[in-house]
């Protein structure tokens, strides 16, 4: 079957899955129902507690009051230590074609089946109430409800991590969280503790390059890559093992915010990414991601200039291409945020037959940590019985009791072996679907050391930086200036400058110039900053540049999901708005009519439009592009509205598409963009698309669409625009 046709056939049709049906049976709808207590007794009054007289004391016998208050007092569970700020969605995964040569996992061998999934996106450092657009790693965790049990692919939007061994995870999190003496700063790594830690941990430098790149401020969860981070194993039916790294590739391309924009959005709409995910799904513009695998044969384990088990390293796609195997579609929002998004429990140890672990020391630690955390956060060992965590596969074992037990187990036996119940539940042989770990030979002395193959700390950090476009390099430098500029202890700043000299000497000098540190001229200090780092292993597979790392090479081919603001006032050109709006909606873009005030706006020819936003409730930073139509009366009104000029200036500063037609081109002369107005023809210049009066609007909308598809027009990036 043609691969493109297979991909096309897998669409978001929203069909109800078995998991949906199961979840539906647990849902409660109070519409038209009488109020009761939790034990089912009907309640006749819920606005006043039971008292001894109208002004007397409340009586302890008021069981309704006590239950209502007790439940409220305990409605908050401990928030996650990391990944507390999250958003989630339901969907499904479907395979393009079977891969039995790679794995016996049924999810990868039946293209006709849609496997239900629940995906949670998150920031890492901030508390639950922090903003979405902070500079941070993003969690990308997927729970597959497979027929063989739940499989949790617990990843991030970056393919590497800060540390190599899980024993350093408490130190990392303590360092990056708000400083303990004053609980500041919130959801930010820009403070002394974190950079003190990093400056003493050279293994973290590769991850630092990712965090200070645009990858750390994604525009939308729908245009954000995901990675399994660790190297796992795939096992086929013959017992053959291969190494694998998992990738999620968004169908609509990969895009980010710019830092000034991200900071402003945190104030304008701290729920920006959460709202975007919700709105896309509600509008039927379903986020889609293709699942890819990088496969390495066991005999090639040591063929590279890095260690496959090192979680601070990637496998460059130019050495091992990503094999796309299927698509995930997110097509339903949660019904209850707490019951689903907050109570979902992911665990890297939730795997299914055909997927196994490697000796990655960070992964090994996570196998313990996640389970231990869920027991504390969700009240005990029965967290898997919470509806959002329940597998579709049947559960039969001898585990009983504990906090929040949901299952009512029948029978007298709860041990194995037993004869009173015929030995049931019995172990399942491997040939009948039982899980068996890969038989790997392991031997060695007990030792607290790290393999020398893990000690090349800088080669891939340099690979990442060298693979960036000039614009991306500029943004990384600016991020260093911001982050290290917040560090108060000069010794820490200086150590970081010397550390970065091991990645790129010119970058280190530019960092130093921006933070008041000495440039790296002393080679001895540079070497000491590297500690026991070793050079890359020569003579093995390697690359010096990886185009797959630059977001400039990962753009989509549509404008699906883009948000466009159309700014109007009374007397606007209705035909221009109708043409642009039609093009945007036909291409699954999101459109908002924005005006000075809420209400109905009348065009120059009498048609009316209802506004979606007014100036005070929105801003250009919340959109991917803006369009302003002509209309003499409308333009004259907007000339007096500073918010409109600010919209233009700010969108221009952030290199976003700006579309203007008819009399509205006069607004350009009032802006700080430096763009000259035109009253003739259609012109497109670095994302500014203009059209004079009485022009062919079909030509304009096509050029405006092309400008939106480009997303950012870096050629006009400059700091001189006041916005």
Is 475 in a helix, a strand, or coil? helix
Q: How far lies 547's CA from each of 244, 434, 496, in Å?
A: 21, 42, 27
Residues recognised as catalytic? 83, 156
- CA atoms within 13 Å, Cβ hemisphere of 195: 27
Residue 179 near residue 377, CB atoms below 8 Å: no
Is 268 in a helix, a strand, or coil? helix
DSSP labels, 679-700: -SSEEEETTEEEE-TT--HHHH
Q: Which DSSP symbol is given to 79?
A: P
Q: How far lies 455's CA from each of 27, 243, 531, 601, in Å?
A: 52, 21, 10, 64
Spatial distance between the Cα atoms of 548 and 554, rounded to a whole number of angstroms = 7
Which residues make Cβ contacts (< 8 Å) with residue 280, sequence separation at least 6?
A: 220, 222, 286, 287, 561, 590
Joined together, the tokens standing for residue 593 give 């009519």
Number of C-beta neighbours around residue 636 at 10 A: 13
User: What φ, ψ does residue 402 adopt, rounded to 5°?
Assistant: 90, 165
DSSP labels, 505-558: HHHHHHHHHHHTPPPS--HHHHHHHHTT-----TTSB--S--GGG-GGG-B-SS
Is 463 in a helix, a strand, or coil? helix
**CA-wise closest residue to 623 among 651, 643, 585:** 651
Give per-residue burial for 99-114: e unless 16+ CB within 10 Å, then b: beebbbbbbbbebeeb
Helix or strand holding residue 86 (H, E): strand 86-95
DSSP-assigned beta bridge partners for residue 708: none
DSSP-assigned beta bridge partners for residue 250: 289
Residue in the block written with tokens 């350009």: 668
Number of C-beta neighbours around residue 483 at 10 A: 23
Cα radius of gyration rounded to whole Å, the chain = 28
What is the three-state SS of 274-319? Answer: HHHHHHHHHCCCCCEEEEEEEEEEHHHCCCECCCCCCCCCCCCCCC
Q: Where are the beta strands (DSSP E) in 333-370?
A: 355-356
Residue 672 near residue 702, CB atoms below 8 Å: no
DSSP labels, 13-72: --PPPHHHHHHHHH----TT---B-TTS-B-S--SS--BSSTTSPBPTT-HHHHHHHHHH
Tell whether omega for the bond before 692 is within 30 degrees of 0, i.e. cis: no
Strands 625-628 and 563-567: parallel
DSSP labels, 586-643: HTT-EEEEEESSSSEEEBTTS-EEE-SEEGGG--GGG-SEEEE---HHHHHHHHT-HH
User: What φ, ψ does residue 291 adopt, rounded to 5°?
Assistant: -90, 125
């Amino acid at each position: 079957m043609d691969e493109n046709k297979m991909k096309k056939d897998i669409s978001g049709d929203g069909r109800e899955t078995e998991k949906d049906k199961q979840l539906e049976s647990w849902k409660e709808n109070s519409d038209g129902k009488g109020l009761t207590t939790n034990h089912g007794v009907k309640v006749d009054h819920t606005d006043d507690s039971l008292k001894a007289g109208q002004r007397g004391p409340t009586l302890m016998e008021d069981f309704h009051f006590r239950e209502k208050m007790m439940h409220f007092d305990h409605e908050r569970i401990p928030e996650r230590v990391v990944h507390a700020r999250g958003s989630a969605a339901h969907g499904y995964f479907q395979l393009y074609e079977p891969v039995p040569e790679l794995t016996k996992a049924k999810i990868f061998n039946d293209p006709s089946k849609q496997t239900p999934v629940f995906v949670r996106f998150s920031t890492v450092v901030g508390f639950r109430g922090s903003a979405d657009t902070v500079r941070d790693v993003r969690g990308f965790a997927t729970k597959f409800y497979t027929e063989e049990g739940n499989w949790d692919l617990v990843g991030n939007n970056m393919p590497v991590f800060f540390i190599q061994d899980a024993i350093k995870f408490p130190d990392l999190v303590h360092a990056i969280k708000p400083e303990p003496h004053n609980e500041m700063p919130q959801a930010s790594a820009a403070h002394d503790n974190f950079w003190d830690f990093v400056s003493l941990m050279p293994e973290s430098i590769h991850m630092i390059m990712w965090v200070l790149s645009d990858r750390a401020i994604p525009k939308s969860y729908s245009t954000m890559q995901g990675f399994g981070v660790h190297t796992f194993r795939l096992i086929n039916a013959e017992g053959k093992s291969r190494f694998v790294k998992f990738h999620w590739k968004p169908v609509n391309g990969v895009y980010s915010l710019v830092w000034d924009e991200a900071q402003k959005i945190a104030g304008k709409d701290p729920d920006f990414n959460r709202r975007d995910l919700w709105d896309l799904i509600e509008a039927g513009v379903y986020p889609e991601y293709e699942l890819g695998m990088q496969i390495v044969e066991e005999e090639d384990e040591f063929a590279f200039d890095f260690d496959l088990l090192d979680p601070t390293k990637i496998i460059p796609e130019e050495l091992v291409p990503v094999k796309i195997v299927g698509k995930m579609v997110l097509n339903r929002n949660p019904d209850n945020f707490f019951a689903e998004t907050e109570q979902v429990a992911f665990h890297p140890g939730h795997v299914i037959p055909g997927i196994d672990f490697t000796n990655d020391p960070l992964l090994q630690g996570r196998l313990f940590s996640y389970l231990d955390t869920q027991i504390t956060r969700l009240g005990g060992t029965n967290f898997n019985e919470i509806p959002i965590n329940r597998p579709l596969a049947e559960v039969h074992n001898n585990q009983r009791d504990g906090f929040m037990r949901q299952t009512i187990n029948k029978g007298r036996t709860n041990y194995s072996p037993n004869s009173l119940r015929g030995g049931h539940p019995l172990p399942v042989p491997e040939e009948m679907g039982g899980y068996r770990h890969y038989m790997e030979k392991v031997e060695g002395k007990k030792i607290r050391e790290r393999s020398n193959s893990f000690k090349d700390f800088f080669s891939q950090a340099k690979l990442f930086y060298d693979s960036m476009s000039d614009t991306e390099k500029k943004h990384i430098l600016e991020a260093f200036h911001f982050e290290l500029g917040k560090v108060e202890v000069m010794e820490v700043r200086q150590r970081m400058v010397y550390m970065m000299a091991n990645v790129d000497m010119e970058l280190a000098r530019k960092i130093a110039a921006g933070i008041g540190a000495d440039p790296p001229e002393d080679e001895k200090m540079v070497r000491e900053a590297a500690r026991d780092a070793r050079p890359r292993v020569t003579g093995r597979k390697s690359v010096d540049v990886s185009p797959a790392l630059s977001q400039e090479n990962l753009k989509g081919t549509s404008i699906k999901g883009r948000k466009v603001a159309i700014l109007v006032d009374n007397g606007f050109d209705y035909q221009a708005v109708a043409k642009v709006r039609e093009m945007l909606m036909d291409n699954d873009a999101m459109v908002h009519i924005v005006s000075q005030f809420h209400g109905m706006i009348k065009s120059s020819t009498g048609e009316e439009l209802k506004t979606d936003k007014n100036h005070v409730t929105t801003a250009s930073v919340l959109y991917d592009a803006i369009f302003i139509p002509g209309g003499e009366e409308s333009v004259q009104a907007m000339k007096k509205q500073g918010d409109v000029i600010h919209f233009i200036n700010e969108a221009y500063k952030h290199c976003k598409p700006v579309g203007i037609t008819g009399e509205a081109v006069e607004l350009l002369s009032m802006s700080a963009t430096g763009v000259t107005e035109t009253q003739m023809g259609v012109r497109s210049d670095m994302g500014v698309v203009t059209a004079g009066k009485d022009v062919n609007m079909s030509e304009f909308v096509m050029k405006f669409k092309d400008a939106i598809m480009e997303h950012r027009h870096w050629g006009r990036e400059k700091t001189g625009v006041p916005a």
